[in-house]
Amino acid sequence: MSRYFTEDHEWIDVDGDVGTVGISDYAQGQLGDIVFVDVPEAGKSLAKGDEAAVVESVKAASDVYSPVSGSVIEGNAALADEPGLVNTDPEGEGWFFKLTLSDASQLDGLMDETAYQAFVAKL
């Protein structure tokens, strides 16, 4: 499985043609305590860069963008009852949605973990 990151602090784990998307530990730390998450419904088509989900914290509401184009196959229903999973395990159980990639070449424009850590270090 390969993990990629965007400059907007989303991550995507890719396994075959399925990607699992969430926000980075850095992003959840900037947001503070997460109180609400709205994830996309299965069947929704997303283009790279589309608003895919909304995350609200005690500080602000933020959009989560799709790092690649594809069709949503599952939203993380657990976040409706337990939005705090984004704080406690942002790069694991706090994932937002899964999608089938429509163009795997879009991954080429994303950062690997090393590049992302260097990017965050400059912020």
Beta strands 51-57 and 34-38, pairing class: antiparallel
Q: Is the pLDDT of residue 1 over 90?
A: no
Q: pLDDT tens across 34-74, in order?
A: 999 999 999 999 999 999 999 999 999 999 999 999 999 99
The residue among 67, 89, 70, 69 whose CA lies nearest residue 3 is: 67
Phi, psi of 34 (to 5 degrees): -80, 130
Token pair listed for 84: 């705090």
* Extents of the domains making up the chain: 2-121
Whole-number average pLDDT of the chain? 97
Which residues are paired to 62 by β-bridges? 55
Which of the listed CATH numbers 3.40.1110.10, 1.10.3720.10, 2.40.50.100, 3.40.640.10 matches domain 2-121?
2.40.50.100
Q: Is the pLDDT of residue 81 over 90?
A: yes
